[in-house]
Chain A
Amino acid sequence: MLSAHNIVAGYVDEIDILQNVSVDVQEQQITSVIGPNGSGKSTLMRVICGFLTPKSGQVLWDDTDLTGRQSHTMAGLGICYLPQERTVYPHLTVEQNIYLGGWTFRRDKARIRHELSRVYDLFPMMQERRKSKAGNLSGGMQKILEVARGMMIRPEILICDEPTVGLAPIIAKEVYDTIERLKADGLTILLVDQNVREAIRIGDQIYVLEVGQNKVNGTRAEFEANQHDMIKDWLQI
């Protein structure tokens, strides 16, 4: 469905953050990409979503070549990207935020209304807070608002970069529950996470990156058995 082949990329000429990384995302599954700090997980997401043009390699979306495509055209293809940093519009209300999620089909008023009520059905807590400024929501709620806004386009894939970083464990759980719920509804998900346990627990396919290279990949069953050794290996104990 979505695949990245032999990606080499970096922010400056001399240093390649990604040195030949490949990832293959299967439809209606959660694909987790894990790895220690600096392994290039976020950079890979930026390459896939058009925020960084790779030096070589290819990003394929079904049969469409996405390599080097402008980042603002991704939403129109049904790709929803949630980077690690906050992306809500803090001084707009929750409802205005979700509304703007429908930017790509803004001329179709009926569809905007329809999708808005669908998103509210999916995320009732957003409807309760529809008049609040997005910036006044808690960190976890802002993350869920980002997901809700992204659902306006009925994406085919959700690309989530460390959705729970900086959140309290109980709120992080809510975010993971949301992701699993969306998967149950048939959404394909590419998840990047440093929370190895959770990423393996909810992931169907797991990729491990290390210093810009594929280290190992496999299914959840294969990983659950080796999790202990793997973490020990990372911590070098």
Chain B
Amino acid sequence: MDYYILAQVINGVIFGLIYALIALGLTVVFSIMRVVNFSHGEFYMLGGYALYALTAGAVTLFSIPLILPTIVGLPLAMVAVAIFGILVERGLLRPVYTARMDRPEEYAIILTFGLSLFLQYGALVTVGPYEMTPGSFWEGSKHIIGDLYLAGDRLFAAGTSVFLIGATLFFIYGTWTGRALMATAQNRVGSTIVGINTVRMNITAMALAGLLAGAAGALLAPVFLVYPDVGQIPVIKGFVIIVLGGMGSILGAVIAAVILGLVESLGSVYFSVAYRDVFAFLVLIGVLLFRPHGLLGQKARRV
């Protein structure tokens, strides 16, 4: 097999894994809170900026420039975005499910869309339109086999993504809190009556989304740089993936993400790299024509 093609396949899988991190957060928040978080791409952006702020020495704390190792900066950046997610939930999204609001879904859409713009332009004003690059996680190219070399940062991103996806799946399917999340997604009243605090489940969902989106943003920051609207394209891919995988299906989202990464990567090789972002939608249209509920989605059940 041509090493060039093999490299593209591996790259596709790596992007797929990163997309999966983004899509998992979107789908968990949507399932639990019924909120489509249009500002999720900015969570991703904030992950990149947080890593930059913590590791590049551009920020000073008590007049000492912050130059943490990137490997330490990554979990800190994730936690920072998770805290931001919790603040958004507490401060902005709460009226959706507590107050008696006439149109909570529309409120949530307008709110998260506005927040997305606010954060993009906020970043533009405060740090400027420049592309910033935090230090590497794993420097240089790594020799894999034959003529195949891959950037250390990409390999690190892939490995970390696999770990985080595995941890998320374990959390959701293997712990009481995870099962309570699933229960809340499937029947909110049914969860409340067994004693699950569904408000706390909302917080958990937003924190998880923040952790994963922050991780994705930070992992790709050394590869693709960070700038104010860096999250726009990835979040659209995230939306495509959760529809493709079947709304609310966690495993479906992971599978769809890897498929999308592969299609983009190979499409760029065999057709044209200019159409890279178009492939996502071609795949989406193709799948929805034959499976309207997505790859692993549940058919809508109406009583």
Contacts and interface: CB of A to CB of B under 8 A. Distances in A.
Interface of A: 11, 49, 51, 70-76, 80-83, 85-92, 96, 99-101, 103-104, 106, 135, 146, 149-150, 152-153
Interface of B: 100, 176, 179-180, 182-183, 186-187, 189-198, 298, 301, 303
A135 B10 CA distance: 40
A71, A80, A103, A135: most-surrounded residue (chain B CB, <10 A): A103
B193 A89 contact: no
B186 A90 contact: yes
B247 to A, nearest CB: 12
B183 A92 contact: yes
A49 B196 CA distance: 14
Given A90-B301, A103-B180, A72 B197 contact: yes
Given A71-B193, A149-B194, A153-B195, 14 more contacts: A51-B192, A70-B197, A71-B192, A72-B191, A74-B195, A75-B195, A76-B195, A83-B189, A89-B191, A92-B186, A100-B183, A100-B191, A150-B194, A152-B194
A100 B180 contact: yes
Interface of B (DSSP majority class): helix
Contacts of A88: 187, 190
Contacts of B189: 51, 83, 85, 87
A51 B170 CA distance: 32
Nearest to A98: B194
Contacts of B198: 72
B187 A75 contact: no
Nearest to B200: A72
Given A89-B182, A96-B179, A104 B187 contact: no
A90 B195 contact: no
A146 B186 CA distance: 14
Contact of A72 (B182, B196, B298, B301): B196
Contacts of B100: 11
A101 B183 CA distance: 11
A14 B90 CA distance: 30
Contacts of A76: 195
A224 to B, nearest CB: 32
Contacts of B192: 51, 71-72
Nearest to B303: A86
A91 B298 contact: yes
A152 B196 CA distance: 14
